[in-house]
């Protein structure tokens, strides 16, 4: 899985540096064999199963900046989503550059039966309430607005949003539709730097 991710990242026409964040020396060596830089070991406190990805990425950014490198944006690639293509990475980066958005993530369409306008939650009394807060559902499938869910194989976020706002998404998030075959369970390990504008 790491090799597929490395091949896609290293073939991107935009990524200027591809690094691997891991605490495991065997994984680090595998990354090196795939052509990825491993400039630091991930601290053990950021390598637990329950560790959120944001502090891992922030650590990588701060480490690279301490060595004199600075990037406008960061592209997070998750090796457990190995079927992404170089075109998906580059498409997300291009959309970020062209739009001025805070972040771009790969997305998949939500099937009609799971659209938020048809999804109910139980309230405290046990009654069903539409997730949108509307009093009644939209009656026809054809009238439903398109809905998307985060797919997880590519995240491109501006550096200041990650560091200053502490977010992968910011307030101006765009989705980049991806081939449904590329969807898989995500465990993020890898970061790549997007280009300076």
Band the pLDDT of 185: cuts 50, 70, 90: very low
Using the predicted structure, report yes or no on whether residue 186 has a pLDDT greater than 80.
Answer: no
Token pair, residue 1, equals 């899985």
Token pair, residue 188, equals 């993020």
Q: Which residues contact 87 (CB under 8 A, 6 or more apart)?
A: none
Most distant CA atoms of the chain, gap in Å: 57
Band the pLDDT of 183: cuts 50, 70, 90: low
DSSP 141: G
DSSP 67: T
Mean pLDDT for the chain?
A: 91
Query: Residue 126 — left, alpha, or beta (φ > 0 → left; ψ -120 to 50 → alpha)?
Result: left
* pLDDT at 112 (0 to 100): 94
Secondary structure class of 82 (helix, strand, coil): coil
Secondary structure class of 17 (helix, strand, coil): strand
Tell me how long the chain is.
Answer: 197
Q: The pTM is what?
A: 0.86
Using the predicted structure, report yes or no on whether residue 190 has a pLDDT greater than 80.
Answer: no
| Residue 151 host element (H or E) | strand 148-158
CATH class of 2-106+150-169+177-194: alpha beta
- Cβ atoms of 106 and 152 within 8 Å: the answer is yes
* pLDDT at 107 (0 to 100): 96
Residues carrying CATH 3.90.550.10, the chain: 2-106+150-169+177-194
pLDDT tens digits for range 3-18 = 999 999 999 999 999 9
Q: State the average pLDDT over residues 91-117.
A: 96
d(CA 3, CA 22): 15
pLDDT tens digits for range 117-167 = 999 999 999 999 999 999 999 999 999 999 999 999 999 999 999 999 999
- Cβ atoms of 83 and 149 within 8 Å: the answer is no
- Cβ atoms of 75 and 168 within 8 Å: the answer is no
Token pair, residue 77, equals 């690639």
């Amino acid at each position: 899985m790491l090799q597929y991710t490395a091949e896609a990242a290293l073939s991107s026409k935009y990524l200027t540096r591809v690094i691997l964040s891991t605490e495991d020396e065997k994984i680090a060596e595998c990354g090196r064999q795939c052509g990825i830089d491993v400039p630091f070991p991930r601290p053990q406190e950021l390598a637990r199963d329950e560790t959120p990805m944001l502090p891992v990425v922030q650590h990588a950014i701060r480490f690279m900046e301490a060595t004199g490198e600075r990037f406008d944006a960061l592209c997070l690639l998750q090796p457990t989503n190995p079927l992404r293509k170089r075109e998906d990475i580059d498409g997300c980066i291009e959309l970020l550059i062209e739009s001025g958005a805070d972040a771009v993530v790969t997305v998949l369409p939500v099937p009609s039966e799971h659209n938020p306008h048809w999804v109910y939650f139980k309230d405290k009394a046990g009654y069903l309430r539409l997730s949108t807060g509307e009093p009644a559902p939209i009656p026809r499938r054809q009238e439903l607005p398109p809905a998307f869910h985060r797919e997880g194989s590519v995240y491109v976020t501006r550096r200041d949003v990650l560091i200053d706002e502490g977010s992968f998404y910011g307030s101006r998030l765009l989705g980049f539709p991806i081939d449904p075959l590329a969807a898989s369970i995500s465990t993020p390990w890898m970061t790549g730097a997007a280009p300076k504008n």
